[in-house]
Amino acid sequence: MGAVSLRPTQPMSASLAELYRDHLATLQQRCEAALARSNHDHLLIAAGVEKYQFLDDRPYPFAANPHFKAWLPLDRHPGCWLRITPGARPRLAYLQPDDYWHLPPSAPEGDWVEHFDIEVIRNPEEARCLLPARGRVAVIGEPDAALEGMVPDNPRVLLDHLHYHRAFKTPYEIACMRGAALRAVRGHRAAEAAFRQGASEHAIHLAYLAASGQVEHDLPYGSIVALNEHAAVLHYQHQRVEPPPQRRSFLIDAGASHAGYAADITRTHAAQEGAFADLVRAVDEVEQALCAQVREGVDYVAIHLDAHRRLGAVLQEAGLVRMSPESQLETGLSAAFFPHGVGHLIGLQVHDIGGLQVDEEGRVRERPAGHPFLRLTRTLAAGMAVTIEPGIYFIPSLLRGLRQGAHAAAVDWDRVEALLPYGGIRIEDDVVCTAGDPLNLTREAFAAVA
């Protein structure tokens, strides 16, 4: 039988195979520590199950449990289960149904196979072969993955430990994220070319998919493909088929997946030179300066606040706001133009979990007052992978509130009105914190593809 996806079964290079072996050893150590903390003897992890649309027999695109795909490069394999027992090899129940309606997974193959004891099963219930004869069992998964004797309980103590440490990426994970970045950058270059040629949002999206070698359900998140004023909608979710009468601006926030790991990249382009193009260049300079701050021991909250100051300086220098950057931050004025957080953890999930968690016990550091959408409040350390994504937007609803507020006089409304049809700007890179200089996976990929 043919494979559902070539990606998990493509041979790893010798170096990547070694990184994967070391990655599994790290996961085993983390898992054993978590089980000891939660007083369990075994861990069962459900890959997940397909979910069907209401009153229909069509499934939604399958999304694998991130705890499962941390161990295995299998992201299209519902019904599988994994058992982790301290001191033993991981055991995998690999669902390969006898199905002629859909193409089932191929027999287990690839470099990952040698690291697991594998039981091929033909129906989901056979996964109960993983149930241990004795000992306390923790089960991670969604409620609908439950089988008799294998009901997800998601112990908080265990999850807190795993989620805290998941922020620290192994060299194997960074290699996978590098692969995702290369795939995404190919798409971004094709998308910009399509924009320059006058394509619609829908046509740009299709060009992105073709160049990145993905179909819709491969994407780690729905692409944001926004022309003109649509760029003012932070998570713009539509793709118009007809091109607009006039091309002014283009914002694309689109990623890619590789072996279960995500890339998350945003770029903004101006159709022609002028005030908006100048702003795009200024935001790009701010973004690169912030990326340079992704260093061990740096407080990510401080990066976020510095983003407000730097963007405030851009607004001031462009003549849009007559107020110092520090005052814009203190009064909240800068938030009308930059309303979201400067970034987040990234890895197995686009918004990787544990961004507010500051220790293994699950204690959290709350977001600073006035910044409710910041997704990461931790101090950076080597191995963490984060996004940096500052922006300046012209969002009508936020600007209405600003115009009615105490600081309306500080804004040059004529200049703001002139920029409303352009929507906004966001530049986003994926950056790995190291013991030295930061590793910018996104800029590295653009240089490689160029």
Q: Are strands 42-46 and 224-227 parallel, antiparallel or unpaired?
A: unpaired
Which residue ranges of the chain lie beneath pLDDT 50? 1-9
352 closest CA partner among 54, 61, 70, 115: 70
Q: Residue 12: its pLDDT value, please?
A: 77
Residue 3 exposure: Cα atoms within 13 Å on the Cβ side: 13
Provide the CA 377 distance to its chain's centre, in angstroms: 17
- Please, what's the b/e burial string for 90-104 (b: 16 or more CB within 10 A of its CB; e: otherwise)? bbbbbbbeeeeeeeb
CA distance linking residue 230 with residue 252, whole number of Å: 11
Residue 417 exposure: Cα atoms within 13 Å on the Cβ side: 4
Q: What is the DSSP letter of 155?
A: -
Q: Residue 1: its pLDDT value, please?
A: 27
Burial of 53 (0-12, 13-18, 19+ CB in 10 A): exposed
Provide the CA 58 distance to its chain's centre, in angstroms: 26
- Torsion angle of C-alpha atoms 367, 371, 375, 380, degrees rounded to 10: -70
CA distance linking residue 137 with residue 122, whole number of Å: 24
In which residue are the tokens 């991130």 written? 66
CA distance linking residue 195 with residue 425, whole number of Å: 16
Which residue segments constitute the domains of the chain, with CATH numbers given?
7-166 (3.40.350.10), 171-449 (3.90.230.10)
238 closest CA partner among 259, 223, 248: 223
Q: Are strands 117-121 and 137-140 parallel, antiparallel or unpaired?
A: unpaired
DSSP per-residue string spanning 202-222: HHHHHHHHHHHT--GGGSSS-
Q: Where on the phi/psi map is residue 414: left (φ > 0), alpha (ψ -120 to 50), or beta?
A: alpha
387 closest CA partner among 282, 226, 266: 266
- For residue 83, list its beta bridge partners: 44, 91
First to last CA, the chain: 38
User: What are the pLDDT digits (tens) for 364-422?
Assistant: 999 999 999 999 999 999 999 999 999 999 999 999 999 999 999 999 999 999 999 99
CA distance linking residue 294 with residue 384, whole number of Å: 9
Give the chain's radius of gyration (CA, Å).
23
Query: What contacts 401, CB < 8 A, 6 or more positions away?
Result: 336
Burial of 388 (0-12, 13-18, 19+ CB in 10 A): buried
Burial of 41 (0-12, 13-18, 19+ CB in 10 A): middle
Residue 361's CB: how many other CB atoms inside 10 A?
A: 11
Provide the CA 306 distance to its chain's centre, in angstroms: 23
User: What are the pLDDT digits (tens) for 52-68?
Assistant: 999 999 999 999 999 99
